[in-house]
Amino acid sequence: MKFFVDTADVDAIRDLADTGLVDGVTTNPSLIAKSGRDFVEVVKEICDIVDGPISAEVTATAYDEMVAEGRKLAKIHDNITVKVPLTRDGLKTCKSLSEEGTMVNVTLCFSANQALLAAKAGATFISPFVGRLDDIAMDGMQLISDIVEVYDNYPALMTEVLVASVRSPMHVLEAAKMGADVCTLPPDVLLALFNHPLTDKGLEAFLADWQKTGQSIL
Ligand code: E4P
Protein backbone atom coordinates (compact mmCIF):
# COMPACT_ATOMS: atom_id res chain seq x y z
CA MET A 1 0.00 0.00 0.00
CA LYS A 2 1.22 3.49 -0.85
CA PHE A 3 1.25 6.18 1.85
CA PHE A 4 0.48 9.77 0.90
CA VAL A 5 0.62 12.59 3.44
CA ASP A 6 -2.55 14.66 3.70
CA THR A 7 -1.26 18.14 4.56
CA ALA A 8 0.05 21.40 3.11
CA ASP A 9 2.49 21.83 6.00
CA VAL A 10 5.84 21.74 4.22
CA ASP A 11 7.88 21.21 7.40
CA ALA A 12 5.74 18.21 8.36
CA ILE A 13 6.09 16.80 4.84
CA ARG A 14 9.88 17.23 4.93
CA ASP A 15 10.06 15.50 8.31
CA LEU A 16 7.93 12.54 7.18
CA ALA A 17 9.60 12.25 3.77
CA ASP A 18 12.84 11.74 5.66
CA THR A 19 11.52 8.30 6.72
CA GLY A 20 11.61 7.20 3.08
CA LEU A 21 8.04 5.94 3.45
CA VAL A 22 6.12 8.77 1.77
CA ASP A 23 4.89 8.03 -1.76
CA GLY A 24 2.93 11.20 -2.43
CA VAL A 25 1.03 14.15 -0.95
CA THR A 26 -2.57 15.33 -1.04
CA THR A 27 -3.69 18.89 -0.41
CA ASN A 28 -7.09 20.56 -0.57
CA PRO A 29 -8.24 24.19 -0.36
CA SER A 30 -8.87 23.90 3.40
CA LEU A 31 -5.35 22.58 4.02
CA ILE A 32 -3.87 25.38 1.87
CA ALA A 33 -5.89 27.94 3.85
CA LYS A 34 -4.64 26.37 7.09
CA SER A 35 -1.03 26.74 5.90
CA GLY A 36 -1.60 30.49 5.42
CA ARG A 37 0.67 30.37 2.37
CA ASP A 38 0.49 30.95 -1.39
CA PHE A 39 -1.00 27.88 -3.10
CA VAL A 40 1.37 27.60 -6.06
CA GLU A 41 4.43 28.33 -3.92
CA VAL A 42 3.49 25.58 -1.42
CA VAL A 43 2.75 23.04 -4.14
CA LYS A 44 6.09 23.76 -5.86
CA GLU A 45 7.94 23.24 -2.58
CA ILE A 46 6.12 19.96 -1.96
CA CYS A 47 7.08 18.74 -5.45
CA ASP A 48 10.72 19.43 -4.59
CA ILE A 49 10.47 17.34 -1.41
CA VAL A 50 8.45 14.28 -2.46
CA ASP A 51 8.96 12.39 -5.71
CA GLY A 52 5.43 11.07 -6.25
CA PRO A 53 1.93 12.23 -7.08
CA ILE A 54 1.15 15.62 -5.48
CA SER A 55 -2.55 16.47 -5.50
CA ALA A 56 -3.50 20.10 -6.09
CA GLU A 57 -7.21 20.88 -6.19
CA VAL A 58 -9.07 23.14 -8.61
CA THR A 59 -11.50 25.61 -7.05
CA ALA A 60 -13.66 26.45 -10.06
CA THR A 61 -16.92 24.53 -10.35
CA ALA A 62 -17.72 24.95 -14.07
CA TYR A 63 -16.07 22.73 -16.68
CA ASP A 64 -14.22 25.38 -18.75
CA GLU A 65 -12.69 27.06 -15.71
CA MET A 66 -11.89 23.72 -14.07
CA VAL A 67 -10.00 22.57 -17.17
CA ALA A 68 -8.15 25.91 -17.35
CA GLU A 69 -7.17 25.71 -13.67
CA GLY A 70 -6.19 22.06 -14.04
CA ARG A 71 -3.95 22.80 -17.02
CA LYS A 72 -2.28 25.63 -15.10
CA LEU A 73 -1.68 23.42 -12.07
CA ALA A 74 -0.41 20.54 -14.23
CA LYS A 75 2.29 22.84 -15.65
CA ILE A 76 3.83 23.30 -12.20
CA HIS A 77 5.48 19.85 -12.21
CA ASP A 78 5.13 16.44 -13.88
CA ASN A 79 4.03 14.93 -10.55
CA ILE A 80 1.06 17.24 -10.14
CA THR A 81 -2.20 15.32 -9.85
CA VAL A 82 -5.12 17.62 -10.51
CA LYS A 83 -7.81 17.12 -7.91
CA VAL A 84 -11.41 17.65 -8.99
CA PRO A 85 -14.63 17.19 -7.02
CA LEU A 86 -17.00 14.39 -7.89
CA THR A 87 -19.56 16.49 -9.75
CA ARG A 88 -20.75 16.26 -13.36
CA ASP A 89 -18.40 19.07 -14.38
CA GLY A 90 -15.65 17.56 -12.27
CA LEU A 91 -15.87 14.21 -14.03
CA LYS A 92 -16.04 15.90 -17.43
CA THR A 93 -12.86 17.75 -16.45
CA CYS A 94 -11.35 14.47 -15.27
CA LYS A 95 -11.97 12.90 -18.67
CA SER A 96 -10.48 15.84 -20.59
CA LEU A 97 -7.38 16.19 -18.41
CA SER A 98 -6.80 12.42 -18.29
CA GLU A 99 -6.95 12.26 -22.08
CA GLU A 100 -4.26 14.98 -22.16
CA GLY A 101 -2.06 12.75 -20.00
CA THR A 102 -2.55 14.58 -16.70
CA MET A 103 -3.04 12.54 -13.52
CA VAL A 104 -6.41 13.27 -11.91
CA ASN A 105 -7.58 12.60 -8.35
CA VAL A 106 -11.38 12.67 -8.03
CA THR A 107 -12.22 13.83 -4.53
CA LEU A 108 -15.28 14.02 -2.26
CA CYS A 109 -16.45 10.51 -3.19
CA PHE A 110 -19.13 9.09 -0.89
CA SER A 111 -20.61 6.19 -2.87
CA ALA A 112 -19.41 3.21 -4.92
CA ASN A 113 -21.51 4.37 -7.86
CA GLN A 114 -19.66 7.70 -7.82
CA ALA A 115 -16.38 5.75 -7.78
CA LEU A 116 -17.51 3.75 -10.80
CA LEU A 117 -18.25 6.97 -12.70
CA ALA A 118 -14.83 8.39 -11.80
CA ALA A 119 -13.10 5.26 -13.07
CA LYS A 120 -15.03 5.45 -16.33
CA ALA A 121 -13.93 9.10 -16.60
CA GLY A 122 -10.31 7.94 -16.47
CA ALA A 123 -9.41 9.04 -12.93
CA THR A 124 -5.93 8.09 -11.77
CA PHE A 125 -7.18 8.06 -8.17
CA ILE A 126 -10.59 7.99 -6.52
CA SER A 127 -10.72 9.53 -3.03
CA PRO A 128 -13.51 8.11 -0.86
CA PHE A 129 -13.75 10.03 2.46
CA VAL A 130 -14.07 7.44 5.23
CA GLY A 131 -13.85 9.73 8.28
CA ARG A 132 -16.57 12.06 7.10
CA LEU A 133 -18.92 9.07 6.60
CA ASP A 134 -18.07 7.76 10.08
CA ASP A 135 -18.83 11.28 11.39
CA ILE A 136 -22.45 10.96 10.25
CA ALA A 137 -22.80 7.41 11.62
CA MET A 138 -22.27 5.70 8.26
CA ASP A 139 -19.65 3.00 7.70
CA GLY A 140 -16.74 4.64 5.89
CA MET A 141 -14.74 1.45 5.53
CA GLN A 142 -17.70 -0.38 4.00
CA LEU A 143 -17.46 2.14 1.15
CA ILE A 144 -13.82 1.17 0.59
CA SER A 145 -14.73 -2.50 0.56
CA ASP A 146 -17.53 -1.84 -1.97
CA ILE A 147 -15.29 0.19 -4.29
CA VAL A 148 -12.46 -2.38 -4.17
CA GLU A 149 -14.98 -5.12 -4.99
CA VAL A 150 -16.54 -3.18 -7.87
CA TYR A 151 -13.17 -2.22 -9.38
CA ASP A 152 -11.91 -5.81 -9.04
CA ASN A 153 -14.84 -6.95 -11.19
CA TYR A 154 -13.54 -4.80 -14.06
CA PRO A 155 -9.78 -5.27 -14.46
CA ALA A 156 -9.76 -2.79 -17.35
CA LEU A 157 -10.45 0.03 -14.86
CA MET A 158 -7.06 1.40 -13.86
CA THR A 159 -8.21 3.85 -11.16
CA GLU A 160 -6.46 3.45 -7.80
CA VAL A 161 -8.46 3.53 -4.57
CA LEU A 162 -7.03 6.33 -2.41
CA VAL A 163 -8.51 6.15 1.08
CA ALA A 164 -9.02 9.72 2.31
CA SER A 165 -10.34 11.47 5.40
CA VAL A 166 -8.40 8.94 7.48
CA ARG A 167 -8.63 9.59 11.20
CA SER A 168 -6.87 6.65 12.90
CA PRO A 169 -4.43 3.76 12.46
CA MET A 170 -7.43 1.38 12.42
CA HIS A 171 -8.61 2.98 9.18
CA VAL A 172 -5.17 2.24 7.72
CA LEU A 173 -5.16 -1.40 8.83
CA GLU A 174 -8.66 -2.03 7.53
CA ALA A 175 -7.83 -0.34 4.21
CA ALA A 176 -4.72 -2.50 3.85
CA LYS A 177 -6.71 -5.68 4.56
CA MET A 178 -9.17 -4.66 1.86
CA GLY A 179 -6.37 -4.13 -0.64
CA ALA A 180 -6.85 -0.38 -1.12
CA ASP A 181 -4.02 1.03 -3.24
CA VAL A 182 -3.25 4.19 -1.26
CA CYS A 183 -4.00 5.80 2.11
CA THR A 184 -3.54 9.52 2.51
CA LEU A 185 -2.69 10.21 6.12
CA PRO A 186 -2.62 13.27 8.33
CA PRO A 187 0.93 13.50 9.76
CA ASP A 188 -0.16 12.45 13.26
CA VAL A 189 -1.77 9.26 11.95
CA LEU A 190 1.32 8.33 9.93
CA LEU A 191 3.52 8.93 12.99
CA ALA A 192 1.17 6.83 15.15
CA LEU A 193 1.75 3.82 12.87
CA PHE A 194 5.33 3.56 14.13
CA ASN A 195 4.35 3.27 17.78
CA HIS A 196 3.74 0.28 20.04
CA PRO A 197 4.27 0.32 23.83
CA LEU A 198 5.82 -3.18 23.72
CA THR A 199 8.39 -1.95 21.19
CA ASP A 200 9.40 0.84 23.60
CA LYS A 201 9.42 -1.50 26.61
CA GLY A 202 11.37 -4.19 24.75
CA LEU A 203 13.97 -1.74 23.47
CA GLU A 204 14.45 -0.27 26.91
CA ALA A 205 15.14 -3.76 28.35
CA PHE A 206 17.52 -4.71 25.50
CA LEU A 207 19.52 -1.50 25.94
CA ALA A 208 19.71 -1.90 29.73
CA ASP A 209 21.03 -5.47 29.35
CA TRP A 210 23.47 -4.41 26.63
CA GLN A 211 24.88 -1.69 28.87
CA LYS A 212 25.61 -4.35 31.52
CA THR A 213 27.87 -6.18 29.04
CA GLY A 214 30.15 -3.14 28.77
CA GLN A 215 30.51 -3.77 25.01
CA SER A 216 30.07 -1.45 22.05
CA ILE A 217 29.48 -2.34 18.40
CA LEU A 218 31.46 0.55 16.91
C1 E4P B 1 -8.05 13.99 0.90
O2 E4P B 1 -7.54 14.16 -0.16
C3 E4P B 1 -8.67 15.05 1.69
O4 E4P B 1 -7.87 16.19 1.56
C5 E4P B 1 -8.72 14.72 3.16
O6 E4P B 1 -8.39 13.38 3.39
C7 E4P B 1 -9.96 15.16 3.84
O8 E4P B 1 -9.89 14.79 5.19
P9 E4P B 1 -10.84 15.40 6.31
O10 E4P B 1 -12.19 14.78 6.16
O11 E4P B 1 -10.20 15.00 7.60
O12 E4P B 1 -10.87 16.88 6.10
pLDDT the model gives residue 43: 98
pLDDT tens for 28-44 read: 999 999 999 999 999 99
- Ligand 1: residue of 9, 59, 136, 184 to mutate (most ligand atoms within 8 A of CB) is 184
pLDDT the model gives residue 127: 98
Query: Could you confirm whether 83 is annotated as catalytic?
Result: yes
pLDDT the model gives residue 45: 98
CB-neighbour burial class of residue 8 (10 A; exposed 0-12, middle 13-18, buried 19+): buried
pTM of the full structure: 0.96
- Ligand 1: residue of 129, 160, 188 to mutate (most ligand atoms within 8 A of CB) is 129
Nearest CA residue ID for atom 8, ligand 1:
165
pLDDT the model gives residue 177: 98
Q: Which residues of the chain have pLDDT under 70?
A: none
Nearest CA residue ID for atom 5, ligand 1:
165
Q: Is 184 in the pocket of ligand 1 (CB under 6 A)?
A: yes
pLDDT the model gives residue 168: 97
pLDDT the model gives residue 87: 98
pLDDT the model gives residue 64: 98
String of DSSP letters for 106-158 = EEEE-SHHHHHHHHHTT-SEEEEBHHHHHHTTS-HHHHHHHHHHHHHT-TT--
